[in-house]
Structure 1
């Protein structure tokens, strides 16, 4: 089955990954861990399902004023972007607001809003802004107080 993806000039073929094979996703810059990928063998261009079928526009809670647009590569002259969520650089797919220079890795754009972790008793919530210094009260969760102390030192 051939598939045309907006980020690549050749058609991609759906390929079932064989045991022991590893591929690097050209969209997320991570290893493809799914059972099937979209592949262009001519260019060694591979996408796992999440990058092969993304939403082109999203509304994200970290940037509610504008929609974020999926770009196949950064538009900055450096050829890279700095993710506003995790702080790491990227050189491939990103959700971007060019007006405000907001950029998110694909995987950062879809982080769950709340998670439970075995090392902590309370539910952890994703926040999109750094809290004000001293914003946590004495009875608040101790991990938040520790995070707050580290953010402002």
Structure 2
């Protein structure tokens, strides 16, 4: 395993880190914005800048075909394509900044975790296997079976029971 790597998102070499310390514990991954835990300490980082990436985020493909946007390949960007520095994820509907997948033609944007949502999932909230839908079947009239809040973007669905769940 390489102990250092050069990554296009950062100007310093990134060092392999295998143990939690205070700087890692206080940081989130700059790619997916998820925190580091003792279970996923396999990461690369720059201690000088406080820049850290999960190992899996270091090696995301630069081009991606995703069923949420089948018209075109998505391109991995290390920063938003927009002058504001922010983007709206077209899969989950939430805002983001930093790493994302982007389609220049359609102005489609997605968080890294959103392009990796499993197609099928089990949930303690429902007895059947759920299927990922990128748009709810009845936009504006579909509520989450767990929290009751209206679903506006992607969701998990049970076609047998008309049950829907936020990811």
**Structure 1 gap ranges (5+):** 148-153
- Asked if 1:141 is matched to 2:145, the reply is no
Q: TM-score, normalised by structure 2?
A: 0.77
Aligned pair count reads 141
SS in 2 for 1:99: coil
User: Which digits, 9 at most, give the CA deviation of each residue in 1:21-61, with x for residues without a partner?
Assistant: 51321111221231221011111100011211111111000
**Structure 2 gap ranges (5+):** 142-158
Match runs of 1:68-147 below 5 Å: 68-132=74-138, 140-144=160-164
Larger Rg: 1
1:77–1:18 distance in 2 versus 1, CA, 3 Å? closer
Q: Pick the aligned partner of 1:67 from 68, 73, 77.
A: 73
Matches of 2:59 and 2:36, distance apart in 1: 14
Match of 1:26 in 2: 30
Matches of 2:136 and 2:20, distance apart in 1: 44
User: Which digits, 9 at most, give the CA deviation of each residue in 1:38-90, with x for residues without a partner?
Assistant: 01111110001121111111100011111001100101111100001111111
Match of 1:56 in 2: 62
Match of 2:147 in 1: none
Pairwise CA RMSD of aligned residues? 2.0
Q: Is the 8 A contact 1:74 1:93 kept in 2?
A: yes
Matches of 1:127 and 1:116, distance apart in 2: 14
Poorly superposed stretches of 4+, deviation over 4 Å: none
Q: Is the 8 A contact 1:17 1:37 kept in 2?
A: no
Match of 1:151 in 2: none
The structure that is strand-richer by fraction is 2
User: Which digits, 9 at most, give the CA deviation of each residue in 1:118-138, with x for residues without a partner?
Assistant: 22011111112332579xxxx
Q: TM-score, normalised by structure 1?
A: 0.83
